[in-house]
Amino acid sequence: MNRINWIALVIGALIVVSLAAEVVAQGRRGAVLQLDEEKIKGEIEKPEAYYILAPSNLTYQQTPPEASFLVRLYETVEKAPF
């Protein structure tokens, strides 16, 4: 942190502390707002939802069967390693 930022931080902290001390010394509190009771009459509407699903074309193609790899595996085991 350079020197200017450090000085600005210290000055800002001092201002915040001095304002907080002033509020505590005066004994001020936030304004209190009291509201009278009110009655609200009405009906609750039920939510409605509509779903529109377009028919989809489900066409599947079979994948060609793959040749078993076991034959090639057995061949590699039967061969000499070197």
Cα gap 36→41, rounded to integer Å = 16
Q: How confident is the model at residue 22 (pLDDT cuts 50, 70, 90)?
A: low
Where would I find the beta strands (DSSP E) of the chain? Answer: none
Predicted TM-score (pTM) of the model is 0.30
Cα gap 12→6, rounded to integer Å = 10
pLDDT in tens, 40-63: 788 888 888 887 877 777 777 787
